[in-house]
Amino acid sequence: MLASRFVAGRCVGIFRNVYRSHIRTHLITFAEKRFESTLSAPHSVPLPQHHNNHLSRSFSRSAMASVESIVQQLQGLSITPAATVSHAAASSPATWREALEQSSSAPKSFELIKTIVYKPKTAKTATPVPLVVVAREGTDVISGALGKKLNLKEPRLASEDLLTEFFSLDKNSLSPLALNEQTFPKVVTVIDNTIESASTIFAIRGLSTSSTIFLTGRELFSYIKRLETQENALHEIDFEALRTDGPAASATTPAKKEKESAKIEGAAQIAIGIKKEVDFAGWYTNVLLKADMLDYYNVSGCYILKPWSYSIWEIIQDWFNKEIKELGVQNAYFPMFVSQSVLEKEKDHIEGFSPEVAWVTRAGKSDLEEPIAIRPTSETAMYPYYAKWIRSHRDLPLKLNQWNSVVRWEFKNPQPFLRTREFLWQEGHTAHLTKPEADIEVRQILDLYRRVYEDLLAVPVIPGVKSEKEKFAGGLYTTTVEGFIPTSGRGIQAATSHCLGQNFSRPEMFNIVVEDPNDPTGQGKIYVWQNSWGLSTRTIGVMVMTHGDNQGLILPPRVAAIQAVIIPCGIAAKTSDEQRKTINDKCEELAQQLKKIGVKAKADLRDVHTPGFKFNDWEQKGVPLRLEIGPADLAKQQTLSVRRDTGIKAPIPLAQLTTVVPQLLETIQSDLFKKAQDNYYSRLKEITKWDDIVPALDNKCVVALPWCEEEACEDDIKERSGQSSEPQDERAPSAGAKSLCIPFDQSRWTPIVPGQTKCPACSKDAKRWTLFGRSY
Ligand SMILES: [Zn+2]
């Protein structure tokens, strides 16, 4: 840890450039995302009601006009649509389906048609020839394999600009009906070969988000097929066969291809737009943005915590405050500035941080006489005052905690919550008369950290002690709870509780000393035993990574600001105002009932949004439980519950609501934990032979080794396991395995026989089972 920090410090100049260009990419991506979300959620800014009505009326008038002309054109080709439907603007497949299901004029059963446009790679000067894919909703379109088959280079999802240029439509209005004598020759068109013979009716966008035309597969096929010429063929593709042949075909550059297909397949089918299993870093960023947890900030490596994530931190604060106060800890606050002389007092300690310390060197136009550091942690800021305040053994134990932010000017790639230049945490600093007393507290606090993760965030962790190399610089020993991110196969230090020993209280350091109450001569002195312990907003990132899926965030009920959202459903254009009011009132009434028994409930009565939009919105934000109420539910005196974690739907009689909902929330909480724990444990590999280590790491596992506990061996393991590893994700540091912790509970593994069990790395005698892994 120390070594890598120094390297980062020395190479600041080089890193800075890399870093800047990386950040720029980030911002551009973000700008695009914002653009996308404006397009896909046109109603996200609530307009005054009358204004909005006016807009949608005039919009649907023009939409209807275009539908009429399309229908006329189809009739000219002897095609009569099974139905045409105008509906509320629907920007996603889910809301589209929902709008159609609510319409009385839509067929009882239908399938959606998706139209995806790609831009194959071409020379900058060449005119692009877009690839238009017309497929059934459920068809898996693998662009890489498709490009290979058609001999088109690296097809990527087309930008909105390209769609406008070729079709004058946005991606949600586009459909095969935009293909005509003018557009067809300019593009390459592919049709899913199962469409022609399908017996179902297909829903096709009427070139707007608010109108739909229903055609048979045969009709749709013939509509496009007639445009075919000698020069421009219609490609009928068997996507199922393409999918099966796919992996072999894309073996040349797997990482790159995987990333592409992550985006492309995702775009049409999953809310987050990037698949968690394929581009984890991209997925993570998208989840945070779409769940409205975070925003980027104009100082790189810093982020804004929005209410949806800050509320989680508040819940952790409330719980943790209550627990530490039971232990006699009091909250206080120390300034964020540390003078240079004090900061640099403990040499090992400062060596651990110095490359990352941010300094204030100027005030207004004048340089400061002595630069002032912004705390990277507060040991050195606080302890001169501990020396002043602790006059006698009766002043012990002194137990203070502060909730604050610290700054570590990292030059590694930032990642929200996991690695940021400023982060929120609590830091506890305590002083004790004896080592046993300090030891006990170290473990009490560590167990509170374990409970924050396991009981609140439903994230399993393994408590243990750090190796000498990985311990807190300047401390005596460090205990840790180690988490694990299955998707990346990396360990993550979740929180640490350190015993500093007497390193900081020594006379040449801060000289925190009391008379020894047990020395009969009255001359004996005791340098106090100190601990420090910290838990940061990293908790939130680990939770998101552990539970989230391709629909977005999944919040464990105990940390959710909203645990149950109640959504009125089944309200159609023909619903009377009175019926609408009855349903809305019922939703509000249920929310009040639940709030009364301590469930954080909310009725979502926003009338500018369809139920489908709301479902999607709260799913992305990870609300654990959704309750739907429609006229039919009301008649049966029930509500339909839908679990965010499993999607399982079950009706709940309204009379039992206040008993069933709290139970269900508890079940969700424990199921999430169980699932994450099973996942973690299944990736913990007991390994006794060197040759098995790297394959296990490459298989996204953490390895437990019977280890000699020697630092040189640890360095060697890191180096040797790093050499043979795969190319790494650019945002994930350190490819070699380092020691994560020596678990307190050794009983999970085969007992180590002293003198017989050998360390698989150096063949010396093994001491304890130690977890090694790639890590954050
Ligand atoms: Zn060894």
Whether 661 and 668 have beta carbons less than 8 Å apart is answered as no
Minimum mean pLDDT range among 455-459, 496-500, 557-561, 611-615? 611-615
Domain presence at residue 5: no
Whether 87 and 102 have beta carbons less than 8 Å apart is answered as yes
Among 86-90, 117-121, 521-525, 662-666, the range with the most confident prediction by mean pLDDT is 662-666
| Structure confidence at residue 338 as a pLDDT band (50, 70, 90) | very high
How many A from CA of 714 to the centre of ligand 1? Answer: 7
Q: Find the helix packing angle between 143-150 and 254-269, rounded to 10°.
A: 110
Q: Is pLDDT of 759 > 90? A: yes
d(CA 337, CA 376): 10
Kindly state whether residues 567 and 540 are assigned to the same domain: no
Q: Is pLDDT of 246 > 70? A: no
Maximal CA-CA distance, the chain: 112
How many A from CA of 727 to the centre of ligand 1? Answer: 26
Kindly state whether residues 536 and 575 are assigned to the same domain: no
Specify the amino acid at residue 298.
Answer: N
Rounded to an integer, the average pLDDT of 287-315 is 96
Q: From the CB of residue 345, how many other CB atoms can be counted at a distance below 10 Å?
A: 19
Whether 215 and 223 have beta carbons less than 8 Å apart is answered as yes
Q: What own/partner pairs with CB < 8 Å and gap ≥ 24 does 386-390 have?
A: 386/429, 386/431, 386/510, 386/512, 386/528, 386/530, 387/505, 387/510, 387/511, 387/512, 387/513, 390/431, 390/512, 390/514, 390/528
Q: Among residues 184, 120, 175, 107, which one has the least CA distance to residue 151? A: 120
How many A from CA of 763 to the centre of ligand 1? Answer: 6
Give percent of the chain with pLDDT exceeding 90: 64
β-bridge mates for residue 83, sequence order: 214
Domain presence at residue 631: yes
Kindly state whether residues 339 and 256 are assigned to the same domain: no
Average pLDDT of the chain to the nearest whole number: 86
Residues 6+ away with beta carbon under 8 Å from 371: 340, 359, 360, 361
How many A from CA of 255 to the centre of ligand 1? Answer: 34
Whether 415 and 281 have beta carbons less than 8 Å apart is answered as yes
How many A from CA of 753 to the centre of ligand 1? Answer: 15
Supply the CATH number for residue 634's domain.
3.40.50.800
How many A from CA of 481 to the centre of ligand 1? Answer: 23
Specify the amino acid at residue 696.
Answer: A
Kindly state whether residues 156 and 177 are assigned to the same domain: yes
Kindly state whether residues 489 and 361 are assigned to the same domain: yes
| pLDDT tens, position by position, 610-631 | 999 999 999 999 999 999 999 9
Measured at the CA of 10, the angle between CA 8 and CA 11, to 5 degrees, comes to 65
Domain presence at residue 3: no
How many A from CA of 757 to the centre of ligand 1? Answer: 11
Residues 6+ away with beta carbon under 8 Å from 97: 112, 203, 612
| pLDDT tens, position by position, 39-60 | 333 333 333 333 333 333 333 4
| pLDDT tens, position by position, 413-467 | 889 999 999 999 999 999 999 999 999 999 999 999 999 999 999 999 999 999 9
| pLDDT reported for residue 177 | 93
Q: How many helices (H) and strands (E) does the chain have?
A: 22, 31
| pLDDT tens, position by position, 713-755 | 999 999 999 875 555 444 444 479 999 999 999 999 999 999 9
Domain extent for 730: 684-773
How many A from CA of 704 to the centre of ligand 1? Answer: 13
Q: Is the model more confident about 238 or about 53?
A: 238
Residues 6+ away with beta carbon under 8 Å from 203: 96, 97, 100, 106, 110, 111, 112, 113, 212, 213, 214
How many A from CA of 351 to the centre of ligand 1? Answer: 26
How many A from CA of 756 to the centre of ligand 1? Answer: 13
* Residue burial 607-629, b: 16+ Cβ < 10 Å; e: rest: eebbbbbbbbbbbbbbbbbbbbb
Of 504, 520, 547, the residue at which a domain comes to its end is: 547
Of 603, 635, 664, the residue at which a domain comes to its end is: 664
Kindly state whether residues 480 and 458 are assigned to the same domain: yes
Kindly state whether residues 587 and 539 are assigned to the same domain: no
Kindly state whether residues 219 and 265 are assigned to the same domain: yes
Supply the CATH number for residue 730's domain.
3.30.110.30
Q: Is the model more confident about 228 or about 552?
A: 552
How many A from CA of 744 to the centre of ligand 1? Answer: 19
Q: Among residues 164, 124, 121, which one has the least CA distance to residue 143? A: 121
How many A from CA of 489 to the centre of ligand 1? Answer: 23
Helices (H), 454-566: 538-547
Take residue 149 and report the two structure tokens written for it. Answer: 């088959």
How many A from CA of 768 to the centre of ligand 1? Answer: 11
How many A from CA of 350 to the centre of ligand 1? Answer: 29
How many A from CA of 254 to the centre of ligand 1? Answer: 35
Domain presence at residue 677: no
d(CA 90, CA 100): 9
How many A from CA of 775 to the centre of ligand 1? Answer: 20
pTM: 0.68
Q: Is pLDDT of 693 > 80? A: yes
How many A from CA of 468 to the centre of ligand 1? Answer: 14
Nearest 5°: phi and psi at 657? -50, -50
| Structure confidence at residue 62 as a pLDDT band (50, 70, 90) | low
Of 547, 577, 604, the residue at which a domain comes to its end is: 547
Kindly state whether residues 625 and 731 are assigned to the same domain: no
How many A from CA of 540 to the centre of ligand 1? Answer: 35
Q: What share of the chain is helix, strand, coil (3-state, %, to 5)?
A: 40, 25, 35
Q: Is the model more confident about 516 or about 105?
A: 516
Q: Among residues 215, 216, 206, 219, which one has the least CA distance to residue 85? A: 206
Q: Among residues 573, 634, 580, 624, which one has the least CA distance to residue 605? A: 580
How many A from CA of 721 to the centre of ligand 1? Answer: 13
Rounded to an integer, the average pLDDT of 258-279 is 61
Kindly state whether residues 410 and 433 are assigned to the same domain: yes
Q: Is the model more confident about 474 or about 559?
A: 559
Per the structure, the count of domains in the chain is 4
| Structure confidence at residue 64 as a pLDDT band (50, 70, 90) | low
Question: What DSSP string runs through 49-62?
Answer: HHHHHHHHHHHHHH
How many A from CA of 430 to the centre of ligand 1? Answer: 35
How many A from CA of 380 to the centre of ligand 1? Answer: 35
Kindly state whether residues 577 and 518 are assigned to the same domain: no
| pLDDT tens, position by position, 396-407 | 999 999 999 999
Measured at the CA of 265, the angle between CA 263 and CA 267, to 5 degrees, comes to 65
Kindly state whether residues 505 and 639 are assigned to the same domain: no
Question: What DSSP string runs through 107-154?
Answer: -SS-EEEEEEEEE----TTSPP--EEEEEETT----HHHHHHHHT-SS
Domain presence at residue 506: yes
d(CA 27, CA 303): 12
Q: Is pLDDT of 268 > 70? A: no
How many A from CA of 427 to the centre of ligand 1? Answer: 34
How many A from CA of 476 to the centre of ligand 1? Answer: 22
Domain presence at residue 699: yes
How many A from CA of 713 to the centre of ligand 1? Answer: 5
Domain presence at residue 49: no
| pLDDT reported for residue 454 | 98
Supply the CATH number for residue 404's domain.
3.30.930.10
Rounded to an integer, the average pLDDT of 351-365 is 90
